[in-house]
Amino acid sequence: MEVSVGDVVMPGDSLKDIKSTKKEGKNERENVILGPGLRREGDKVYVCKAGILKRRDPAVYYVDSYQKRYIPSRGENVVGIVTQKSGDIYKVDVGASEQATLSYLAFEGATKKNRPDLQVGDVIYAKMLVASKDMEPELVCVDSQGKENELGVLSSDGMVFTCSLSLVRKLLNPECPLFRILGRNQAYELAAGMNGRIWIKARSVQETIAAANAILAAEYTVASEMQKLCARIEKTLLLVT
C-alpha cells in the first residue's frame, strides 16, 4: 500500500510522493534523508517498522514507532552497565542484542599505565562509536578532543530504571517541558540513554523515586498536563516527608 506522511504504516508499505528540497547554488541535488524504519530499494522507499510516518524539514522522513529493544546506532548516548573486565576492554550491557565493548583507553586521561577505576556493576554513560549490523557495538567515554564532558561513570547512589525507547525520545524532545518543570522545585540530575535506560539521582531516596515515577508517568501524559503531574508528585513527596 502506498502511504503518505502522518499515516499509520506497516512494514512493506511504500512511500508516496517524497518531496525533496532543492539546494540552491552549485549543483541542484535533491537530498532526502531516510531515518529509522525506512529503507531504500532502488528508486522506491519501503517502510520496515510499524508506526507513524513523520516528516521534518528539510526532507527528513522517519517512522515514529513504539519499541523497547534497543538497536545501536552510531553517535547515540546510552546508559550501560559494566558486566565484565577482560584484558584491555570492558564488556558493557546496553540492552541491545549483544554486549558492547568499551576500551579502557577510551576515558579522559587514561593511559596504558593509568587505567580507569571501573568495577563490574558500575553504571556508565557512553557514546556509541561503532554500531554496524554485523559487528559488536563499541562505546567510548570521551569526545574527539579527548575530553569526557558529560560522559563517564555515573555515581553509585543513583537509580537506574528502564522504559520504552519512545518515552526517552519524548522526554528528550526540545519541546518536552517535564525536566524543566521537575527541576524548578527539585534538585536532581539524570542521564537518559537512547537505549531506554534512565539513571536518576536526587537528594534523598524518596525524591529519587518520586522523580522516577514522574518520568514513567510522562509516557501517557501530554505536554500541557505535565505541570499538573509534577504538582501531584510534589504533593505526595510533601506528605511522605
Site string for another protein, 131-150 (x = CB under 8 A): x-----------------xx
Site string for another protein, 42-81 (x = CB under 8 A): xx-x--------x-x---x-x--------x-xxxxx----
Shorter beta-carbon distance to another protein: residue 12 or 75: 75
87: alpha, beta or left? (left if phi > 0; alpha if psi -120 to 50): left
Helix (H) or strand (E) holding 79: strand 77-86
Helix (H) or strand (E) holding 93: strand 89-93
Distance of CA 49 to the CA centre of its chain: 18
Rounded Cα distance, 12 and 236, in Å: 47
Site string for another protein, 197-226 (x = CB under 8 A): ----xxx-----------------------
Q: Tell me which residue of 135, 126, 120 sits closest to 94, measured CA to CA.
A: 126
Give the burial string for 131-143 (b: 16+ CB within 10 Å, else e).
beeeeebbbbbbe
Tell me how far, at minimum, the Cβ of 16 lies from another protein, in Å.
Answer: 15
Give the list of residues 6+ apart from residue 12 with CB closer than 8 angstroms, or none: 46, 47
Q: 164 is written with which cell numbers? A: 520504552
Select from 6-14, 102-110, 173-181, 217-225 the region that touches another protein (CB under 8 A): 173-181
Tell me how far, at minimum, the Cβ of 12 lies from another protein, in Å.
Answer: 18
Shorter beta-carbon distance to another protein: residue 68 or 203: 203
Shorter beta-carbon distance to another protein: residue 202 or 237: 202
Residues 10, 34, 50, 216: which binds another protein (CB under 8 A)?
34
**Residue 20 interacting with another protein (CB under 8 A):** yes
Residues 103, 164, 186, 213: which binds another protein (CB under 8 A)?
186
Side-chain-facing half-sphere of 168: CA atoms under 13 Å: 23
Residues 21 and 59: beta-carbon distance below 8 Å: yes
Tell me how far, at minimum, the Cβ of 138 lies from another protein, in Å.
Answer: 15
Q: 37 is written with which cell numbers? A: 524504519
Shorter beta-carbon distance to another protein: residue 85 or 152: 152
For another protein, the binding residues (CB under 8 A) are 20, 29-36, 39-40, 42-43, 45, 54, 56, 60, 62, 71, 73-77, 125, 131, 149-151, 165, 168-169, 172-174, 179, 182-184, 186-194, 201-203
